[in-house]
Structure 1
């Protein structure tokens, strides 16, 4: 019993609910003129990997089909060390400044009084930080609820620097395109599934692999040269916007295939730790400030959740490593035996790795804090491919506005009007109609309450008396 009391490790703060699998990456095209990364070179080469899919805002016992960001984290066990990609199902991200992370996460968590997801807080932070709106548009559209993890694309978000053996650089955005064909669920379909199966995504992935129907994704990279990035009329390192058509070219790399389920989910998936700072020679990484923040706080959260030796947990271990890390909390594995954990040394201990082929020049990215609403306008007018999709998108926005308080709603409507007049008008009209309908339904329920059976539950004591807290802010529950 004492062991049982302490058997849980801390739950992830975000992306807590998830699943995963093992597989491999196979190179299908020669990309050696762009990068000397061993994992992407040698047609036919296969690299083992582990992935973890997740729902961004759900607790471990939550629903797979919520309208939110879905994640795909990938760990390639390369011969040069682990390479990690942390991806989302949207090709863009919420913000450019890493310090915004905790602010936004606090706003989109559960209300401390009702413990319900708080749409007032969500729209409050959107209108205070308008760069968030573009990613919100993607989640309100059909892309917000893919029809299972197998049928969603995934994007590592950043613009990565890569280089070839001659030190020539390119700047790329990686894309994992599902070979199952992208498909999505409407809000009505998701609500119906949620009423029957909270683990719909997890079950679908496990059963497909178990039946031998191995899911696969094509890995490609959109590319620009150093000359290209200096001659475009937008910031190609801005993670909150898409690259414009006609300013880049696309190169195929290979295929990611999942062919083995985890034998023990806690051992293989819950203890997995992914860090975008895990890079390999030939992929120096993104130069933007968001990445600099992520490479610090990813390892910090893993130290907290799994301990400082989390990279010695089997699923996180590279194929080969010599480090200076000795002692501490388990697991310590061989604990370096008697090898020295200092440098320099005379006894075959670890030495710092120096990449002689890495470009010597470093790109400095000067980022602006100005908010650009053009990407959101482009999404509404061009990414939403037809009127039916546009209408579903508007209905999802309206459903998120109805529970919010009126002052925040008015700020939200103003922001939508600034993005596109037609969008602002249609959402305002729909919101007023939906609000009137909700008020009518509440009035009808007050006059004619539903005829529900009453259960008499015996109790030794009466209910505790908790008077309302004086001065608490009003919370709407619809």
Structure 2
């Protein structure tokens, strides 16, 4: 019995020491609190344990120490009280414009480690040298939700990573579905309007969504991914992510290859059924954010293997499909896959606004050896991302801490802060004869440039292949139909018919299933959403099919 008591006391002391606490005033009640809460729930409590004394004297924004009698605005000249003025002006001017899309999200710091030699394909410094580690910042986000939204909606999730390389910042903006809704950049604004709120009701408008989808058949493939099991992952950690577009890369000899990068989760793919996701919304609207934060604080660091599917320059000219089309997958057997390395996240931001909200990720941030995509969508993205970041953060957004490259020498200066050193007294024009920053010569850069002409044709074979190859079992088909019907119920009947006709052209069996389920749902009492035809066997289930897109 005495030995048991000693062991229990030893465990108790170890748990106290884990938090740096040896004060006997920390009693059993506090220890129980530590054991029953998650790191995100007790962040403030942990801060107090780490700082047993106040961290300093409160000041105004100009550094004036705040005297205790100035902590009230009663019975005094309020505008003479600078502490009060600071509080009021900060309250009324605290924020920057919200992102147009992908407003709600979170982020983490980490690193990328090269595990395989890919010098045959690219001269990019970040990918050359086995064992090389590059610091990185990752922002995860929800495509549709505003800052106050919830995480478990059926929509595209994103992993956007900024690698701080010795040759500049390299940004990959990735989605958890491997295809996008359209390839024509003119659809940027219309599709953005479709997923926003109705201007009168200020609600999500599924009539507008299906009206757009049914008139743009190229959107069906991405829609099918969202309606499938894969459309709603169980948190950010348990999903693969894809930068979507086909990137041109080149080696030291100037040889071109075309690749699609893939971030493959090391946690295993796991998805949520809508029935469980709907229960999470009121209980834990920040479910994805909390899961990522707690995982890192518990030192269960999430990671993703980075690989690339490769086509040579000659392969691109021989394949019988458009490898630059972001609405389709590459055909199996036409490419090979190369492993590169691993992205690991090991530190939560100390301040959410400073890191996550001020992060400016831009797909046109590229490095030597990765000149990037050549399709028309990417040309439009080069312009759009920079414009929105200037609007949101100002012209000097790349001088903000979370965006600053490891090395920069430029001729741009001034503007709204931050300006950092503002290039001090160096010459401010180019070219000059006074030893300002000079150019370099990339001898591997090809002398010719590529141009791409893309077809306007829409091929329904692409969504049909997805339905036949990835929605295979009765359970998968039942959930696919139920997820679609839930969004189709409030839509005008003639648009419902148009959607069903389009789904029938993709696969007659799918059209019949959709028609039967829609009638069943409409005839149910109170016109309620349809019953789950084939309930999932467990709350959180891994994909019943192999989500690897190759092999």
Q: Is TM > 0.5 for Structure 1 vs Structure 2?
A: yes
Distance 1:78 1:190, change over 3 A: same
Q: Deviations over 1:34-92 (max 9, x none)?
A: 11100000000000000000000000010011000111110000000000000000111
In structure 1, what is the Cα distance between the partners aligned to 2:527 and 2:165?
Answer: 61
Find the counterpart in structure 1 of residue 379 from structure 2.
292
Matches within 5 A, 1:24-423: 24-423=111-510
Deviation at 1:296, TM superposition (A): 0.6
Greater Cα shift, 292-301 or 358-367: 358-367
Whether the 8 Å CA contact 1:341–1:350 is kept in 2: the answer is: no
Greater Cα shift, 408-417 or 352-361: 352-361
Deviation at 1:272, TM superposition (A): 0.4
Deviation at 1:195, TM superposition (A): 2.4
Greater Cα shift, 263-272 or 362-371: 362-371
**SS, match of residue 195 in structure 1:** helix
**SS, match of residue 382 in structure 1:** helix
**SS, match of residue 169 in structure 2:** strand
Deviation at 1:440, TM superposition (A): 5.4
Backbone CA RMSD of aligned residues:
1.2
Whether the 8 Å CA contact 2:522–2:528 is kept in 1: the answer is: no
In structure 2, what is the Cα distance between the partners aligned to 1:297 and 1:20?
Answer: 22
Deviation at 1:387, TM superposition (A): 2.0
Instruction: Give unpaired runs (5+ residues) of structure 2.
Output: 1-87, 530-551
In structure 2, what is the Cα distance between the partners aligned to 1:254 and 1:295?
Answer: 27
In structure 1, what is the Cα distance between the partners aligned to 2:519 and 2:421?
Answer: 66
Whether the 8 Å CA contact 1:271–1:315 is kept in 2: the answer is: yes
Deviation at 1:354, TM superposition (A): 4.1
Deviation at 1:25, TM superposition (A): 0.2
**SS, match of residue 244 in structure 1:** coil
Whether the 8 Å CA contact 1:156–1:175 is kept in 2: the answer is: yes
In structure 2, what is the Cα distance between the partners aligned to 1:124 and 1:238?
Answer: 23
In structure 2, what is the Cα distance between the partners aligned to 1:247 and 1:214?
Answer: 35
In structure 1, what is the Cα distance between the partners aligned to 2:150 and 2:314?
Answer: 46
In structure 2, what is the Cα distance between the partners aligned to 1:91 and 1:441?
Answer: 33
**SS, match of residue 72 in structure 1:** strand
Matches within 5 A, 1:385-464: 385-437=472-524, 439=526
Whether the 8 Å CA contact 2:183–2:326 is kept in 1: the answer is: yes
Deviation at 1:439, TM superposition (A): 4.6
TM-score, normalised with respect to structure 2: 0.79
**SS, match of residue 340 in structure 2:** strand
Q: Deviations over 1:341-381 (max 9, x none)?
A: 21111233233454221222322211011111111001111
Point out the structure with max Rg over C-alpha.
2
Q: Which has the higher contact order (CA 8 A, sep 6+)?
A: 1
Deviation at 1:395, TM superposition (A): 0.8
In structure 1, what is the Cα distance between the partners aligned to 2:456 and 2:367?
Answer: 31
Deviation at 1:441, TM superposition (A): 5.9
Q: Deviations over 1:133-178 (max 9, x none)?
A: 1111111111111010010100000000111000111110000000
In structure 1, what is the Cα distance between the partners aligned to 2:295 and 2:383?
Answer: 36
Whether the 8 Å CA contact 2:360–2:403 is kept in 1: the answer is: yes
Find the counterpart in structure 2 of residue 471 from structure 1.
none
Greater Cα shift, 157-166 or 345-354: 345-354
Whether the 8 Å CA contact 2:310–2:338 is kept in 1: the answer is: yes
In structure 1, what is the Cα distance between the partners aligned to 2:346 and 2:415?
Answer: 35
Structure 1 segments, 4+ long, off by >6 Å, are none
